[in-house]
Chains A and B, each alone.
Chain A
């Protein structure tokens, strides 16, 4: 079964704006990851955040994790047309590394 659920399913913004995507999950986790997938290609890892971490940054990406609410968010600042892709969260359930994905958020950044 799928573990995470992303919200919104689709997001359309203008270049330069910020994009925020959310992920909710059901069971206790060891860590949570965010991946990007361009159309017709494989998934590319963005950030891994562990269950004892609350926030992590990588370039224009900011990820937060709230284990009490079983949710995470991915913020992309100053978006670019090249950020257009699908974004997925994946969780490793506690004591496992089964890496289960949500349905994803389709982000469109208009130039």
Chain B
């Protein structure tokens, strides 16, 4: 079974530039998450999708961050314009439901963003 794929692995941009991250979840996983993990901290949930609908985006800074999951499969997360404090690892995860219960989540390797 292929894992969660993310690209790029690393990105360096200047502040005020824009950047986009891509995630391909495990086939058949309806739930997809984007997390921001700042060095030394735990992952912070940015947005959660169920198929192509947004379940929770309460912690997404909507003035600069946007995300979509067209057709309920791949997802992209965009930052425009980037700030220095956006420097972090952006993690994508997916999971499914079996017999009405949540299962474990699978994470991609993440994209390390550095804003200079």
- The interface of chain A, by Cβ under 8 A from chain B, is 1-2, 4, 6, 30-31, 33, 35, 40-45, 48, 50, 88, 90, 92, 96-104
Contact = CB atoms under 8 A, between A and B. Distances in A.
Interface in B66-116: 91, 93, 95, 97, 101-110, 112
Contact of A88 (B31, B43, B45, B95): B43
A31 B102 contact: yes
A43 B55 contact: no
Interface residues of B, number: 28
B21 interface: no
B56 interface: yes
B48 A44 contact: no
Contacts of A2: 42, 44
Contacts of B31: 97
